[in-house]
């Protein structure tokens, strides 16, 4: 586990870049306060297109089309503007909420472009955040990244993007055998995001996401104590119950004995929590009450494509995003 102490970055009193960004945009926007003090990555643009698979020359495979038709979407469409790579539009320099999308794309070996890895990619992010894009008849303005562009489609909201990608990428049980699987997987993903991603975020920003952490440290301390002692065990206990339920099936995964995108979401949540609350997570692991949950974590981390991704250059280090390490947060609970 790589740990980066981010407090020094956050103790900057004013943030020139943020102020500039706010000055040029006519609408309020939810730029993470901490981004302003991060250096932007500068990768050569030829590194922008990723694919971890070697067997899919086209995205419009029969399996893909079956999945599209199983969404009721593409039965009529033999050719589509969606025969192109996925495009993830997200802030550079943090795993953040974009990471849930990345893990899904990586596990599936999908081809995708990631603004976080493209020189000048932040201009693309800002065009959406400022409301300059999308500007067409079918896509509403977006509120915040992550954003997925796929052909003519532009959508935001992490669970919504996962909902779109999951069936297309084979990360939901097939609709022919299990028509309602998508709602079970979506339910599990939403609950993990609520309790193990949004609530940890609110631990360092309990009053307002636009204020610095330093401006809400007292409230954060109180929230963290409650989160680590009460909410974290409650959510881990819930997912342990899910893993022990009949509906989880055989094996280490949450639903129907198969890997779904909900498992990838839960993996990333646990990984972030291990970074943010190492003592508390170690204690919970040692207690043995959540053994299936930690087995799921290990199983996902050992999947070949995920393992390669986690050890490779595209996986970004935790810093001052969603999951943060502050020494004062590192309590046992």
Enumerate binding residues for its own copies (CB under 8 A): 27-28, 30, 69-74, 76-77, 131, 134-143, 153, 155-157, 159-160, 163-164, 175-176, 178-180, 183-184, 186-188, 190-191, 195, 202, 206-208, 210-211, 219, 222-223, 226-227, 230-231, 233-235, 237-238, 241-242, 245-248, 254-256
Nearer to its own copies, 131 or 278 (CB): 131
In 131-252, where do the E strands start and end? 147-150, 153-156
Q: Smallest gap, in angstroms, from Cβ of residue 327 to its own copies? A: 21
State in angstroms the smallest separation of the CB of 203 from its own copies: 10
Task: Respond yes or no on whether the N-terminal peptide bond of residue 146 is cis (omega within 30° of 0).
Answer: yes
Nearer to its own copies, 48 or 165 (CB): 165
Tell me 270's DSSP state.
H
Least distance from its own copies to the Cβ atom of residue 96, Å = 16
Phi, psi dihedrals of residue 248, rounded to the nearest 5°: -75, -20
Distance CA 283, CA 326 (A): 18
- Specify the residue, 234 or 307, whose C-beta has the smaller distance to its own copies: 234
In residues, how long is the chain?
333
Residue closer to its own copies (CB basis): 290 or 309: 290
| Beta carbon of residue 213, minimum distance to its own copies (angstroms, whole number) | 14
Q: How far is the CB of 143 from its own copies (least distance, A)?
A: 5
Cβ 243 to its own copies shortest distance, Å: 9
The whole-angstrom separation of Cα 314 and Cα 110 is: 14
Residue 4 three-state SS = coil
CB 142 → its own copies: shortest distance, Å? 8
Dig out the tokens for 202 from the structure: 């609110």
Phi, psi of 72 (to 5 degrees): 75, 15
Nearer to its own copies, 121 or 233 (CB): 233
Beta carbon of residue 26, minimum distance to its own copies (angstroms, whole number): 10
Sign of CA dihedral 155, 158, 162, 165: positive
Taking the C-alpha atoms of 182, 188, 190 and 193 in order, what is their torsion angle to the nearest 10 degrees? -140
Beta bridge partners of 150: 153
Nearer to its own copies, 111 or 202 (CB): 202
Of 95, 101, 123, 115, nearest to 34 (Cα)?
A: 95
Which is nearer to its own copies, 4 or 208 (by Cβ)?
Answer: 208
For its own copies, which is the closer residue by CB, 164 or 309? 164
| Nearby residues of 19 by Cβ (< 8 Å), 6 or more positions away | none
What's phi and psi for 138, nearest 5 deg?
-120, -15
**Cα 280 to Cα 326: distance, rounded to the nearest angstrom:** 13
């Amino acid at each position: 586990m790589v740990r980066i102490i981010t407090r020094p970055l956050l103790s900057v009193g004013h943030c020139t870049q943020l102020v500039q960004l706010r000055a040029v945009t006519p609408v309020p926007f939810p730029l993470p306060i901490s981004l302003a003090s991060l250096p932007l990555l500068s990768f050569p643009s030829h590194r922008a297109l990723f694919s971890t698979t070697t067997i899919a020359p086209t995205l419009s495979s029969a399996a893909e089309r079956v999945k599209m038709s199983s969404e009721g979407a593409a039965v009529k469409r033999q050719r589509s503007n969606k025969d192109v790579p996925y495009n993830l539009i997200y802030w550079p320099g943090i795993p953040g909420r974009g990471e849930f999308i990345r893990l899904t794309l990586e596990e599936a070996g999908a081809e995708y472009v990631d603004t976080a890895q493209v020189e000048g990619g932040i201009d693309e992010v800002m065009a959406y955040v400022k409301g300059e894009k999308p500007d067409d008849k079918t896509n509403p303005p977006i509120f915040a990244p992550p954003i997925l562009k796929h052909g003519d489609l532009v959508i935001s909201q992490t669970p919504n993007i996962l909902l779109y990608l999951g069936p297309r990428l084979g990360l939901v049980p097939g609709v022919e055998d299990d028509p309602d699987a998508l709602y079970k997987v979506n339910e599990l993903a939403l609950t993990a995001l609520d309790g193990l991603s949004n609530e940890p975020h609110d631990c360092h920003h309990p009053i307002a996401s636009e204020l610095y952490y330093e401006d809400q440290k007292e409230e954060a301390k109180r929230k963290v104590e409650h989160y680590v002692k009460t909410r974290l065990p409650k959510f881990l206990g819930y997912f342990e119950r899910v893993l022990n339920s009949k509906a989880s099936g055989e094996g280490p995964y949450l639903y129907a004995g198969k890997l779904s995108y909900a498992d990838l979401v839960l993996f990333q949540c646990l990984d972030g929590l291990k970074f943010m609350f190492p003592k508390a997570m170690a204690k919970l692991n040692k207690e043995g009450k959540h053994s299936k949950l930690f087995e799921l974590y290990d199983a996902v981390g050992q999947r070949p494509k995920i393992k390669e991704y986690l050890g490779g250059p595209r996986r970004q280090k935790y810093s001052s995003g969603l999951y943060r390490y502050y020494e004062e947060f590192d309590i046992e609970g």
